[in-house]
Amino acid sequence: MLSSADLSLDQVRAILDTAAEMHGVQQREVKKLPTLRGRTVVNLFFEDSTRTRSSFEIAGKWLSADVINISGKGSSTSKGESLRDTVLTVAAMGVDALVIRHHASGAAHQVSQWVDAHVINAGDGMHEHPTQALLDAYTMERRLGSLEGRHVLIVGDLTHSRVVRSNLITLKTLGARVTLVAPPTLMPSGITAWARAEGFDLTHDFDAVLPSADAVMMLRVQRERMSGGFFPTAREYTVGYGLTRPRLDTLVAANPDVVICHPGPMNRGLEIGADAADAAQSLILDQVSAGVAVRMSVLYHLLSGNDDQRRVPRSAWADTSDGRARPAAPRSAGASTAEEGTA
């Protein structure tokens, strides 16, 4: 699970349908399933995380996998060991899956070339965050129904957000219409050509598109990734692009069924006001809950085969008669590909 672009509509639907079943498990008093008993999942996080790391840990444990958490500060990379040597060391212990977050774009893809275990991208720099996009889509669908033809606004720091790319791909796969909203200084270079090629809209005028929205996703202003002045003051940003009380009133007046999302963590008072974050239309805590169900689904689809299917090529998904995508049968013994890579 490296990129949202790797998933077809059938595969996205399979993951979301399974997530709905896993969500039911969350409501039970006893939440454990024996599905991944005997499997080992390592969460390898080189950037700080609350929601993603915790939800992957809970997801693995509720599926009865053995889950190990390793942080960048707690690994030998803090002593100068390379990322390659670290992941090869962990993989040599016989783990079944590596969930990796790293500050470098493309890190998860590179790791997948070094190890034979399944690799799940939990966020690579400013590139992608595929499971976040899946849980966002799942959350919106639970409230809105099908996203086909729905108008979704993604607003804020487009330049530094890894959520944007994955959400654009997943929402387009599900048939939604997407408009990106940001000040010129927070629009990535080359985005106009990309928008033209992929069929989404761009605007600098938040208020102009607000009344037509079915869903509004506010993005965190990632000041830790900024090296210069992307906007004059926080107040000016909020005036132009914050989801303030007046904008919330406009949204609800135009569409009482509108939903508000935020991938977190939030800068309350900057990109989103407290009134909007805590409104009845807000699905922000629903997104957190959905994160566990969706990540349970992803782990299930990758790891629930029998012992001979534990290490199949990461892109090898097979359609089944029930319409769900599951890992394909392994190749014959001794077969290998460059994609699976060896150290």
**Using one digit for the tens of pLDDT, what is the confidence trace for 220-260?**
987 654 455 566 588 899 999 999 999 999 999 999 999 99
pLDDT of residue 193 exceeding 70, the answer is: yes
Q: 170-174, 248-252, 254-258, 323-327 — which is least confidently predicted?
A: 323-327
pTM of the model: 0.86
Of residues 259 and 338, more confidently modeled: 259
Percent of the chain having pLDDT more than 90?
A: 74
Cβ distance 55 to 26 under 8 Å?
no
Q: What is the mean pLDDT of residues 200-226?
A: 89
Cα(102)–Cα(125) distance, integer angstroms: 6
* pLDDT number for residue 74: 66
DSSP assigned state of 310: T
Mean pLDDT, all residues of the chain: 87
Using DSSP's 3-state secondary structure scheme, residue 41 falls into: strand
pLDDT of residue 324 exceeding 90, the answer is: no
Q: Spelled out in words, what is the top-level CATH class assigned to the domain 4-128+288-327? A: alpha beta
Q: What is the pLDDT of residues 102-135, one digit of tens each?
A: 999 999 999 999 999 999 999 999 999 999 999 9
Pick among 3.40.630.20, 2.40.50.140, 1.10.10.1400, 3.40.50.1370: CATH of 130-284: 3.40.50.1370
* pLDDT number for residue 333: 32
Cα(238)–Cα(99) distance, integer angstroms: 35
Residue 196: both structure tokens together: 């033209």
Pairing of strands 325-327, 317-319: antiparallel
Where do we find the tokens 């275990």? 117
* pLDDT number for residue 229: 56
Cα separations in angstroms, 259 against 58, 252, 278, 307, 310: 26, 9, 12, 43, 39
Using DSSP's 3-state secondary structure scheme, residue 318 falls into: strand
Q: What is the pLDDT of residues 28-84, one digit of tens each?
A: 999 999 999 999 999 999 998 999 999 999 999 999 999 999 987 767 776 678 999
Question: What is the CA 218 to chain-centroid distance, rounded?
Answer: 15
* pLDDT number for residue 223: 61
Of residues 316 and 76, more confidently modeled: 76
How many Cα neighbours within 13 Å face the side chain of 68?
Answer: 16
Domain limits, CATH 3.40.50.1370, in the chain: 4-128+288-327, 130-284
